[in-house]
Structure 1
Amino acid sequence: MRSRLSRHTRSTAAVAALLTAAALGLSACGSSSDDPPEPVGEGEGAVQQPDEPTEVTFFSWIGQQPEMKKLAKEFNEEYPNITIKFENVPAEQAGQVLTTRIAGNNAPDVAYVNASDVADYASRNAAADLVNYLDRSEVVVADDYVDAFRQFVTYDDKMWGLPMGGETTGLFYRTDLFEEAGIENPPTTWDEFQQTAEALTDESASQYGYEVFAPESAYYFQPWLFQAGGDLLSPDGKEIAFDSDEGRKAAEFYVNLANYSPKDYLNSNSYDGRVAFAEGQVAMYMAGAWFAGTLTEEYPDIEGKWATAPLPEGDAGCKTSIAGDALMMLADTENADAAWLWMEFLSRPETLARLTYKTEGTLLPPLTSLLEGDEITEEKPVLQGFIDLMACGVAPTASNPKFPRIETILNEELGKAMYGEQSADEALDNTAQQAEAILARGN
C-alpha cells in the first residue's frame, strides 16, 4: 500500500473527529445503549459463510487500490455468498466521516482505521467485541502480532481490531550533505544529534540540520519522551506522566530543534515536508518506513544520496514510536460472520505480505513471523533497519480512550513553543492542567 499521507497526519484528523463526537455528547458513538456490546460470533469451529447472498460494506481509504479490488474478487471466489462493497473515503477525512456515520446509526460493517483510534471507538461501544471470533480462528494468531501493534487494538484486556500493517520511526539523513560537512556517521546520542544539526545549519544558505512540524508536534515528541525514560500516562492510564522530569528534559530538547529547522515548513506536515529533504534543504528527517518508499518512488534522482539509521539514544536507550492501521468490525453490524470472514481473509500472512512489503511502498506487516522471515528483506532491503527497531518500539498511544483529546492539546501547546510563544515547560504545564480535567470527568 502506498502512503499518501503520513499516518499521524491521518490520525490527527481522526482525533479531531472523535473530539467532535465527544462535544456532541455521542458517548456511545451512536449506540443505543450505554452497556458494552455483547461479543459477536457465538458458536464453535471455523466460521462459515452465510447461506444467503450477503453484502459486507468495507469503509477505507485503500479500496480503490488495484490490489484491494483483486483481493475482493479472490475473496468472493472463495466465499461466493459474500460480496464486498467498498465505501471509499479520502484518508484525511476518514475519521470525521466514520464518526458521523456511527452517530447517525449508519455505520459500515468493517472499517479500516488508524490503529491508535481503536481503543477510543471500543470505549464508546462503537466497535464489536471480537473475542469469540478470535478464539475460533485458525488464521488469526494473537501471539504472532508484534506486541506494540497488538497494544494498539487492545482495550479492557481485549482485542477490538486486527492490526494490518505499520512502521517504526527512524532517522533519514542526506549522506551527500554529511560528506560535504565532513561528518562521517549519523548521530547516535542526543548530544551528537544537536551538534550535527547545528553543524549542518546555515540559514544564510537556506540549509538546515533537521525539520520539525508544529501541526504534528505531539507525535514527534513521543520518541524523545520515550528515550528520556518518560511516558505519556501512568501504567494504569489514570494519571498524566508526560510532565515528569524526564518529560520536561525531552520537551526542552525537542522544542529547541526548531532552531535548526526551516521556518517555511514549520506549519507544514511531515508528508509535505518531504520536499525540503528531497531538495537537500534539510539534512536529517525523522519518519516512519513509509518515507523510504516515497523517496524511492517520487525522488529517484537522489538515490544513493540518503540513508537510514536508528534514532539517537537518550538515557533510556533505544526507543522509538510505532504507527499502524487496523481492521475494526462495527458494533451495529447485522452481517457479523461475513464481516469476520473478510477481516480474517485480509489477516492471512500471505495477504498481509501482499498489502505491505510486496507493494511499491515500504510498510511493515504486523506479524513477527513475517518480520523474522527472509522474504521481507529480500523484497525490500531498506526495511531491515526498521525491522530491527521493532524491539525498541513503543506504541504511540496510551491505555486510556480519553488520551486522543489530551494529545490534541499537547500538539497545540508544543506547537506554540516551537513558534517561540512559550517555553517547553509552559507547554507541558498548560497541557497537564487541561489533561487532568479531562481525566477527572466522564466521557
Structure 2
Amino acid sequence: MSTTRRTMGAMSAIAAAGLVLAACGGTPEGGPGDAGDPGGENGGVDVPADAVEVTFWQTQYTDEENEWYEAVVEEFNDAQDEIFVNHTIVPGDAWDQRMTAAQAAGNQPDLRTMNYGDISDAARTGQITSVADLIDAAAWDDLEDNVREMVTYQEQEYAYPLLVEPSAVLYYRTDLFEEAGLDGPPASWDELVDYADQLTDDTTFGLRLAQDAGDMAWSTWGYQWNVAGHLPISDDWSEPQATEDYAPLLQAFQDMFESGAIPPADGVGYPDASPFGEGRYAMMANGSWAASQLLADYPDIVDDVAVAAMPSFSGQPGETTATLGGWTLVVDGASDVPEEAAAFIEWALGGDVDVLVPFFEATVFSKVSPRISVAEAIAEHPDVDDINPWNVVIQEDIVPYAEAEPQYPWGISLALGEAIELAMQGTPVDEALEYANSEIQTEIDNADLAGS
C-alpha cells in the first residue's frame, strides 16, 4: 500500500470510530451532494487548509443509497483533516453529458462510481487507473473470488466493489396465479409465455419485461447465456456471434407482444417496479433491487408476492438466467491524487464492517455484499428474512447461478437489445439477428476490438 503511514493512521482511527447512519428521507439540495453543481464550491463546507482535496462523483441512486454515501463522506471528512472528499450526486440521465464535458475541460472527478460492465473497457483505454497496489491486500483477500475477477483487467484490480445484485428475478402475484388456476412459477420460457397469456385480461398484463432496446441490452444478459450458452461476440472479440441460438429468446418477446401479454412501452424503465406494485402486471422480471421499492412503497401487496428465478429455456432449475451487476468505486486515469482517492475507497468499502452493514440494512437486504466478512455479518442479522421475505430465494436460487455481466463495450450489448426490440415489434427473427451481427461487426471494426 503506497499511502503514507500518517494517512493510514488517520484511516484506522476513523474505522475504529465506526458509523451510525440514519436514513433522513430525500436527497439533500446544495452542498457537496448537490447534483446541480458538479465540482462546485463544497456547499460552504470549510476544507482544512492542508488537506488534499479529492473530487467524487456518484451516480444518483435511491434516497437510501444517496444518504448512505453522503453520511460516509461526511464522517470521513469530519474524522481527519488530511484528505477532503468533495462529493457530488449526478443524475443518471445527465451522467454521460457531464462526464464528457468535464473530461473535455480536464476537470473530471478523481473518484467516481462505475458499474462492473464498464471496468474492462475503461481500464483498457486508460480512463481509470489500477488500484491494486493502492488498497491493502487484506481488503482484496476479503472479496469473493468471482467478484474480484469482475474488477480485474490484465491481472490488475481497477475498482473496488460495494455490491452485487442479480439483474433478473421473477416477481409474481400469488393471488392472481390462484385465480387463474396456476400453481407456482413457470419452469421454462414456454411456460412463461403461456402463463403470461393466461394471466392477461382487461385490467392486467401478464408479464413486465424490459420495454426498449437500451434496457433489453443489459437486462437480458442472463437469458442470452441461458438460451445460447454464449454471448453475441466471440471470446477474443474478433467476430459476432448473434447466431440462431438466440432465436427462441427473440421469438418469445415477439409472441408475448403479439398476444398482448406484454404491452407497448409505457416510458417506465426496467429497474422501476412501480407498474407491478400498482397492480398492472401479474408477473415482473426485475433485479433484486426491486424488493426494496416494493417493500417501501407497496406494502399492501407484499403478502401476495413471491419470487423465483427466471425460468430457463430447458426447463431445468439451477441454470444461469441472471447476471451479477452492481457498483464499484474507481480512480480516474488522469487523477493527480490517486493515493488519496484510493484511501477513501479502502476506508469506505474495504475497511470496517460496521461502515457497510448499514448500507445493506437501508436497502432492505435487496443487494448482496461481495465481501466475505460483510456477508457473514449480514447473515447474523436477526431480522434479515423478516425485513426482506424474498431474501432466501434470491440468495439460494439465483445468486449462485448468476454469471458476471459482460465487460465488452456497450455497443455490443446494445446491438442485441435492438435486435430483440425489432423482433418484438414484428421484424422476422432471422432478420433481427442479421441486424445484430452487422452492428456488432461494425463495433468490432470501429473500436479495434479483435484480440483485445
TM-score normalized by structure 1? 0.80
What is the SS of the residue equivalent to 1:228? helix
Question: Is 1:353 equivalent to 2:353 in the alignment?
Answer: no
Aligned letter for 2:59? W
For 1:297 and 1:350, locate their aligned partners in 2 and report how far apart those are by CA, in whole Å: 24
Aligned letter for 1:60? Q
For 1:75 and 1:268, locate their aligned partners in 2 and report how far apart those are by CA, in whole Å: 36
Aligned counterpart, 1:425: 430
Q: Which of 425-434 and 351-360 deviates more? A: 351-360
What is the SS of the residue equivalent to 1:133? coil
For 1:292 and 1:416, locate their aligned partners in 2 and report how far apart those are by CA, in whole Å: 30
User: Against the structure 1 CA distance between its residues 271 and 426, is the aligned structure 2 distance closer, same or farther, given a 3 Å change threshold?
Assistant: same
Aligned letter for 1:438? E
What is the SS of the residue equivalent to 2:127? coil
1:377-416 equivalences under 5 Å are 378-379=383-384, 380-381=387-388, 382-388=390-396, 389-398=398-407, 400=408, 403-416=409-422
1:240: Cα distance to partner? 2.7
Structure 1 residue runs of 5 or longer lacking an equivalent are 1-40
1:149-168 equivalences under 5 Å are 149-168=147-166
Aligned counterpart, 1:48: 8
Aligned letter for 1:431? A
Question: Is 1:366 equivalent to 2:374 in the alignment?
Answer: no
1:307-326 equivalences under 5 Å are 307-315=306-314, 317-319=318-320, 320-326=322-328
For 2:381 and 2:417, locate their aligned partners in 1 and report how far apart those are by CA, in whole Å: 35
Aligned counterpart, 1:128: 129
Cα deviation 1:238-296 (Å, max 9, x = unaligned): 3333x234222333234433235342436542245x33322322111111111111011
- The answer to whether the 8 A contact 2:244-2:433 is kept is no
Aligned counterpart, 2:20: none
- The answer to whether the 8 A contact 1:214-1:268 is kept is no
Aligned counterpart, 2:335: 333
For 2:367 and 2:101, locate their aligned partners in 1 and report how far apart those are by CA, in whole Å: 29
Aligned counterpart, 1:92: 93
For 2:323 and 2:58, locate their aligned partners in 1 and report how far apart those are by CA, in whole Å: 24
User: Against the structure 1 CA distance between its residues 335 and 172, is the aligned structure 2 distance closer, same or farther, given a 3 Å change threshold?
Assistant: same
Q: How many residues align structurally?
A: 392
- The answer to whether the 8 A contact 1:322-1:393 is kept is yes
For 1:253 and 1:264, locate their aligned partners in 2 and report how far apart those are by CA, in whole Å: 15
1:8-407 equivalences under 5 Å are 42=2, 48=8, 52-62=50-60, 65-134=66-135, 136-138=136-138, 140-142=139-141, 144-145=143-144, 147=146, 149-168=147-166, 169-202=168-201, 205-212=202-209, 213-215=211-213, 216-232=215-231, 233-241=233-241, 243-258=242-257, 259-265=259-265, 268-272=268-272, 274-315=273-314, 317-319=318-320, 320-347=322-349, 348=351, 349-360=353-364, 362-371=366-375, 374-375=379-380, 378-379=383-384, 380-381=387-388, 382-388=390-396, 389-398=398-407, 400=408, 403-407=409-413
Identity of aligned pairs, percent?
24
User: Against the structure 1 CA distance between its residues 236 and 426, is the aligned structure 2 distance closer, same or farther, given a 3 Å change threshold?
Assistant: same
For 2:268 and 2:422, locate their aligned partners in 1 and report how far apart those are by CA, in whole Å: 14
Aligned counterpart, 1:27: none
1:127: Cα distance to partner? 0.2
User: Against the structure 1 CA distance between its residues 194 and 133, is the aligned structure 2 distance closer, same or farther, given a 3 Å change threshold?
Assistant: same
- The answer to whether the 8 A contact 2:234-2:240 is kept is yes
1:228: Cα distance to partner? 1.9
- The answer to whether the 8 A contact 2:3-2:340 is kept is no
Cα deviation 1:337-377 (Å, max 9, x = unaligned): 21111101111343332223444572222224434552368
Cα deviation 1:214-255 (Å, max 9, x = unaligned): 2412223322221224222333333333x2342223332344
1:128: Cα distance to partner? 0.9
- The answer to whether the 8 A contact 1:82-1:338 is kept is yes
What is the SS of the residue equivalent to 1:131? coil
Q: Which of 229-238 and 183-192 deviates more? A: 229-238
User: Against the structure 1 CA distance between its residues 377 and 325, is the aligned structure 2 distance closer, same or farther, given a 3 Å change threshold?
Assistant: farther
User: Against the structure 1 CA distance between its residues 275 and 123, is the aligned structure 2 distance closer, same or farther, given a 3 Å change threshold?
Assistant: same
1:46: Cα distance to partner? 9.7
User: Against the structure 1 CA distance between its residues 262 and 246, is the aligned structure 2 distance closer, same or farther, given a 3 Å change threshold?
Assistant: closer
For 1:220 and 1:89, locate their aligned partners in 2 and report how far apart those are by CA, in whole Å: 23
Cα deviation 1:304-363 (Å, max 9, x = unaligned): 121111111233851122220110101111122211111011113433322234445722
What is the SS of the residue equivalent to 1:184? coil
Cα deviation 1:95-154 (Å, max 9, x = unaligned): 3322332233211110012222122222221101222224x443x22562361x434433
User: Against the structure 1 CA distance between its residues 67 and 434, is the aligned structure 2 distance closer, same or farther, given a 3 Å change threshold?
Assistant: closer
Aligned letter for 2:148? R
- The answer to whether the 8 A contact 1:370-1:376 is kept is no
Aligned counterpart, 1:438: 443
For 1:190 and 1:309, locate their aligned partners in 2 and report how far apart those are by CA, in whole Å: 13
User: Against the structure 1 CA distance between its residues 407 and 439, is the aligned structure 2 distance closer, same or farther, given a 3 Å change threshold?
Assistant: same
1:62: Cα distance to partner? 4.9
Cα deviation 1:184-217 (Å, max 9, x = unaligned): 2111222322221121123xx1322112312412
User: Against the structure 1 CA distance between its residues 314 and 146, is the aligned structure 2 distance closer, same or farther, given a 3 Å change threshold?
Assistant: farther
